C-alpha cells in the first residue's frame, strides 16, 4: 500500500488509532499479500478495538486500497459452504439456485435466508480464493 490519506474524523476514528491500524494492515499485507485481513489479529496487534478496525477497513475499501470478497457460511453451524464471490448478490443467487450445501452438519440450505455472508478484505489484485 502506498501512502494513504484516510479522513479518520469522518469515520469517527481517533487519528492515532487509525494510523496505527493502517500501518498494522500494511505490514500484514506486506508479509501475507494473498491472505485476507483478519480483523481480530489486527485488533490484537494494534490494541485498537475490533469495531474501530472494521471502520478503518471499510474506509480503505471505499478508497480502493482494499478489495472485498464475500464468503458464504451456513447460518445453522457457521461452516464455510462455498468459494468467495465478488458480490453479495452472487452469493445470494447461488444460494437461491441451490448451489450450496453443508457437508459438516448436513443441515438444509434452501436459499439465501440459510446463508450468512462474511466479508473478506484483501489486497487489490488478489483473487477471492
Per-residue pLDDT tens digits for 6-41: 999 999 999 999 999 999 999 999 999 999 999 999
State what percent of residues in the chain have pLDDT above 90: 81
Please determine, for residue 67, whether its predicted confidence score (pLDDT) is greater than 80: yes
Residue in this structure with the C-alpha cell 453443508, named with its chain if needed: 102
Determine the Cα–Cα distance for residues 4 and 69; give it in Å rounded to an integer: 21
DSSP string, 14-80: -HHHHHHHHHHHHHHHHH-TTSPP-HHHHHHHHT--HHHHHHHHHHHHHTTSSEEEEEEEETTT--B
Residue in this structure with the C-alpha cell 450445501, named with its chain if needed: 101
Per-residue pLDDT tens digits for 84-102: 999 999 999 999 999 999 9
Show the cell assigned to 81: 459452504
Q: Where are the domains of the chain?
A: 8-65, 68-122
Amino acid at each position: 500500500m502506498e501512502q494513504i490519506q484516510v479522513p479518520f474524523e469522518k469515520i469517527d476514528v481517533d487519528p492515532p488509532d487509525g494510523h496505527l491500524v493502517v500501518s498494522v494492515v500494511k505490514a500484514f499485507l506486506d508479509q501475507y499479500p494473498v491472505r485476507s485481513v483478519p480483523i481480530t489479529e489486527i485488533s490484537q496487534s494494534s490494541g485498537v478495538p475490533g469495531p474501530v478496525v472494521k471502520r478503518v477497513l471499510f474506509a480503505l475499501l471505499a478508497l480502493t486500497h482494499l478489495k472485498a470478497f464475500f464468503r458464504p457460511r451456513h447460518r445453522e453451524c457457521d461452516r464455510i459452504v462455498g468459494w468467495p464471490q465478488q458480490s453479495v448478490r452472487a452469493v445470494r443467487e447461488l444460494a437461491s439456485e441451490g448451489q450450496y450445501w453443508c457437508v459438516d452438519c448436513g443441515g438444509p440450505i434452501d436459499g439465501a435466508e440459510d446463508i450468512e455472508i462474511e466479508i473478506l478484505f484483501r489486497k487489490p489484485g488478489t483473487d477471492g480464493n
